[in-house]
Chain A
Amino acid sequence: MPLLTTLAGDALNAYGFSRGAESAGAFELISTTILGSSATSVAFTSIPSTYKHLQIRASARTDRALGVDSFTLRLNSDSANNYYSHLLFGNGSAVTATSLGANNIIYAGRTTDSSNTANAFAQNLVDILDYALTTKNKTIRSLFGADTVGGYPWQGIHSGVWNSTAAITRIDVLPGVGPNFVTGSRFSLYGIKG
């Protein structure tokens, strides 16, 4: 019996960081939003289906007043309870593993908020795999960090699933509580070829 078997429908992609000059590559910018004023959400719309995977890179802060907020996603405007999330994170003293579902959003990371040190924003890097494939439910994985002196420090990894085989054409990024992302928050969407 081979140690490694391939199931039908599996995808295995490998990407390398180039050592040379810039060229036509596999990682392309689709859209960037930098907030000039507070906003209740940020939307990536009319997402082209020509890539293999998507990545969101965000630097975000909300106006909640707790010390931390959540960074969440809604796909194709589906607000039904079709999302499940799994969280593994550390808060500086303990590691927590938990799951959330069924929900009407995916919990993809954390943000800082108005109780945190001024000028402190949280990083969220979210990968959405096979987003245009109509034979798979959609999965995400994320790496995030919200270092918040005066609040709750958090960093960790999340995973999530949207129980739909529809190709993703729209992503709404929402604060968990908010109600708003604040000025300066930045959200960039990239397409990864495969």
Chain B
Amino acid sequence: MPAGVSAITPLANLTLGSAQATITFSSISQAYRDLILVVSPIATTTGNAGRLRLNGDTGSNYSWVQMYGDGTTAASSQSTSSTELIGLQSETTQTATVIHITDYSATTKHKSVLSRSNNTNAISTVVNQRWANTAAVTSISIYMTASTTYAAGSTFALYGVSA
């Protein structure tokens, strides 16, 4: 890559004009090394959480370990068999999450998903996750639990990192 050229390329950017249940980035270019997903969502109802799936996989092919603090307690938990990725804090006010997917196009590796997230209920989390599949990531779906929706004003941006 020549000097003076940014190694981070915007791939897609969405700001919701109305409530939406699922946001999908599809046909993701395979020209990069890593993906960065920057999400600042607003939930239409409180008490639910954001989830992700890769390539539409709904099987029990995900595992995760998280660490979080809520202002009084620090704790860690894990799941070795999950049907979805976690780690997207959601509240009825704006929250923030940055998700890194390294080597997303490598077909010799399971996909690692590493994120930091926080919401206005004073919860800060770090989550590391693995999709047990060597397929290149071509789509990312983001949705809420309990079939709730993301509100207008929620933003979702996908970036490719060259290497």
Are A155 and B110 in touch, CB under 8 angstroms?
no
Output the residue of A29, A117, A143 with the most chain B CB within 10 A.
Answer: A29
B26 at the interface (CB under 8 A from A): no
CB contact between B163 and one of A57, A91, A95, A117 (< 8 Å): that residue:
A57
CB contact between A119 and one of B8, B77, B109 (< 8 Å): that residue:
B109
* Interface size range of chain A in the complex: 35 or more
Are A91 and B65 in touch, CB under 8 angstroms?
yes
Output the residue of A58, A153, A190 with the most chain B CB within 10 A.
Answer: A153
Min C-beta distance of A100 to chain B, whole Å? 19
Are B128 and A155 in touch, CB under 8 angstroms?
yes
- Inside 8 A of B1's CB, which chain A residues have their CB? 28-29
CB-nearest residue of chain B to A22? B9
In terms of DSSP, what is the predominant structure of the interface of chain B? strand
B49 at the interface (CB under 8 A from A): no
Are A147 and B112 in touch, CB under 8 angstroms?
yes
Q: Give CA–CA (A93, B38) in the complex, Å.
A: 28
CB-nearest residue of chain B to A155? B128
Are B6 and A155 in touch, CB under 8 angstroms?
no
Min C-beta distance of A191 to chain B, whole Å? 9
Are B76 and A91 in touch, CB under 8 angstroms?
yes
CB-nearest residue of chain A to B78? A92
Query: Given known contacts A23-B6, A143-B126, is B103 in contact with A59 (CB within 8 Å)?
Result: yes
Are A155 and B5 in touch, CB under 8 angstroms?
no
Q: Taking beta carbons and an 8 Å cutoff, which residues of B are in contact with A?
A: 1, 3-10, 13, 33-34, 36, 38, 63-67, 74-78, 80, 100, 102-103, 106, 108-110, 112, 114, 116, 126-130, 132, 134, 157, 159, 161-163
